[in-house]
Amino acid sequence: MTNEPASPAMETVAGGTRQPGKNSLVQRAVQFIAAKKQRTANEKREKQQLWNRVGFHRVAGAYLYGYILALGEALLGIVLVAAILPIFLPYPEITGYKNMSAAFLGFWFGLFDLNLGGGGGFSDGMMRFIGQYSSSDPRRALKFIQFYIWWQMWTGLVQVTVFAAIAFSYLVNTSLSYLTWFIFAEMLVQYPGMLMIMSASLKAFQRGDKLGILVWLQNTVFQGSVNIVCMIIGKMWGASDPRIGEIIGITVFYILSMFLDDWLNLLLGGYFFNQVLKDRGIKEGLRAVITPNFDRAVVKQCMLFVGKQWIGGQVLGIFNYFIGLYIIVTLPSMATWTGLLMIPAFLGHLVSHPGSLMGLASPAISEAYNNGKKELTQHVLASAFKYYCIVTGFMFTSLVIISPRVIMTAVRAFPALQSYQLGIVMIPVVMLVDMTGPLRGMWGMIFVACDRPMPPIYLSFIFTLPGYVLKFLFIWLCIGINVLPVWYLLMVPDFINGMLQTIVAFAWIQRSVIKIRYKKMFFQGIAAPVAACACYAGVLILFSFTAWNGFESLLCMVLGTEAGLIVMGITMLLCMIFVFPGIFYCPFLSLAGTWDDYTMEELRKSIELSGPSKWAMGWMFAITRYFSRFCKWRNAHPLSNYEAIDREMRELVEKS
């Protein structure tokens, strides 16, 4: 028997033969997996480099990172309002009592917080220091966080002890005794008083990727689940004892749920911030935060800066506190009036979404201005204004045209919501007040980030008297002679006074802090977004009178009237978030000249950092870039001096 050579079509292996075609297929699969892993590693490395690189793309990336998460959170909020609200918050008074308890304690919380920060997060003053040192000297930035934790825990212990003694020895013997347990539940938030410290630290270190995930989990998973569990317990507790009742039971546990979920935020945020610190070269990680080794220089720096604001703020705060108490005592059914604003306040929260962008810009402004990079400071300010106009214009236009039909559908589908129906008439006023909120808060942030702590206090003093005049005028109009609804008293006086204060504040900034180049940024930052919004509104109105009616009729015919209306309402909300921005709004932004080549590249970097929002932002960016080619004047009106910006960013990186 002769040994013939193996056929080239066969390959001998242990246990038999194998086709080389199969072998090459396995090799290609292995190579594909290895290449994919390499691409993933490269993308992760690039993202880390972008997060650690100075520029506005970090601010915009952090905002876009949470954009889809926040709007998804809003959809969940709509479901909660429609389904959970009638079950666990059947009475508007529950929210009203919660707000009244917070009003009683708010001044005293601010008094003890010493303007370092409230609600477990940093004030603008603390953010100014941490933002300045987060890149150039992160260990020094941590010393400010250590001092904040130490201060909050000690003063929180004092506050809870003192307020509990007052509530159970004095308040129970007054006409406000029904608020005793609500106030006791509210005061517990002050110990340990720093549960949101990790979220605030991620924001100060400009790590919007991890901050976006944490905020989304906080506002949906943590808060939603804890709220429901607590309200179930409160309802059972109240119903089991007629001396307590459902309203008191639900209110007490509803207040408790507002900060019990913050413990989950602290734990997960600590894990995220530990990773950030190790990336910055701090090997001990979170131990460097919780170990108090701050020095007197840090305490002195904090006290000299925030202490000035604190003194002025408390002088004004004591007067505002007693005026607030006067309104609570004078206004009949205060809890009902404030509770009825829940649905308008929810829509107002959506239209004020760019407020988070302004907060994210604060560390970037501090980092640029306090390191002498004035052109970079100008660019951050101009870009913040621009994004505010783009997002606010979109949200306001969409909600004004879409929300009325959707809300009325929800009220018809869920009859228990009729208890809140009276407040719907205030939606336009609430949206107007809330959409200007980011601007009314921006000037104070600019002063503090630019190392000017006192002008906000001076302006508060200057506008105290006009504020009181407006407040008492509306008390007379709303309660005295009943010519205006009581809701106007709750928001309009402060809105008018705040707008006047904002105008004067920006004039002050222009004169003594930094000359913001409004003329240079006007076209890209204001004119082009406004023109795009006008075109978008026209298309949306046309859509609502044509396609919307057609699809709604079809769904009602197939699913029945009630089910069809509900499905169509949900579909329109989803389209507003995921479809209309890309097919209706982005083309108009590009054609109007909102983006030049530099800001388009900055937008691309931001979308690379947008994490879970990237799948939605990616196709919107593709549409934006495509239509931008047809705008002949896209580079005719630059937003900033780009060459100077690039030079200053390189200098800042070299310094750090």
For 12, phi then psi, to 5°, come to -80, 130
Q: Supply the pLDDT for residue 9.
A: 45
Q: Using a pLDDT cut of 70, give the percent of the chain over it.
A: 90
Total domains in the chain come to: 1
Backbone angles phi, psi at 535, to 5 degrees: -65, -40
Identify whether 519 is part of a domain: no
Top pLDDT among 307 and 284 is at 284
The owner of tokens 């499905």 is 567
Tokens of 27: 């090799």
Structure tokens at 132: 């300045």
What global pTM score does this model have? Answer: 0.73
Q: Is residue 133 part of a domain?
A: yes
Taking only the tens place, the pLDDT of each residue in 379-408 is 999 999 999 999 999 999 998 898 888 887
Q: Is 332 helix (H, G, I), strand (E, B) or coil?
A: coil
Question: If you search the block for the tokens 């928001």, which residue do you land on?
Answer: 491
Which two tokens mark 509? Answer: 């900034």
Kindly state whether residue 574 falls inside one of the protein's structural domains: no
Asked if residue 631 belongs to a domain, the reply is: no
Please determine, for residue 573, whether its predicted confidence score (pLDDT) is greater than 50: yes
Confidence of residue 324 (pLDDT cuts 50, 70, 90): confident
What are residue 555's phi and psi, to 5 degrees? Answer: -65, -40
Q: What is the CA radius of gyration of the chain?
A: 28
ω into residue 192 within 30 of 0, thus cis?
A: yes
Q: Is 153 exposed, middle or buried (0-12, 13-18, 19+ CB in 10 A)?
A: middle
> Between 456 and 17, whose confidence is greater?
456
Q: Establish how many alpha carbons lie within 13 A of residue 638's alpha carbon, considering only the half-sphere containing its beta carbon.
A: 10
66 occurs within a structural domain: no
For the chain, the maximum distance between any two Cα atoms, rounded to a whole number of angstroms, is 119
Instruction: Reply yes or no on whether the pLDDT at 254 is more than 60.
Output: yes
Tokens representing 368 are 């640029």
Nearest to 181 by CA among 107, 252, 232: 252
pLDDT for residue 7 is more than 50: no
Task: Name residue, tokens 């008074």.
Answer: 93
Whole-angstrom distance, CA of residue 304 vs CA of residue 31: 61
Lowest mean pLDDT of 334-348, 363-377, 478-492, name the range. 334-348
Burial letters for 557-588: b for 16+ Cβ neighbours within 10 Å, e otherwise?
eeeeeeebbbbbbbebbebbbbebbbebbbbb
Phi-psi region at 373: left, alpha or beta (left = phi > 0; alpha = psi -120 to 50)? beta
The per-residue pLDDT of the chain, averaged, comes to: 84
Give the pLDDT of residue 75: 64
pLDDT given at position 5:
47
Sorting pLDDT into bands at 50, 70 and 90, what band is 3?
Answer: very low
- Type and span of the H or E element at 286: none
Tens digit of each residue's pLDDT (9 = 90 or more) over 537-571: 999 999 988 988 898 899 889 888 888 888 888 88
Q: Structural domain of residue 232, as residue ranges? A: 89-312
- Tell me, yes or no, whether 435 lies in a domain: no
pLDDT value for 15: 45
- CA distances for 439 relative to 270, 349, 533, angstroms: 32, 14, 19
Is a pLDDT exceeding 80 seen at residue 116?
Answer: no
**Segment 506-524 mean pLDDT:** 94
Alpha helices in 355-463 (DSSP H): 355-369, 374-413, 427-435, 437-449, 455-462
| Region label for 292, one of left (φ > 0), alpha (ψ between -120 and 50) or beta (otherwise) | beta
Weakest-pLDDT range from 61-65, 131-135, 373-377, 574-578: 131-135
Q: Which residue has the higher pLDDT, 614 or 16?
A: 614
Is 249 part of a structural domain of the chain?
yes
Is residue 61 one of the residues assigned to a domain?
A: no
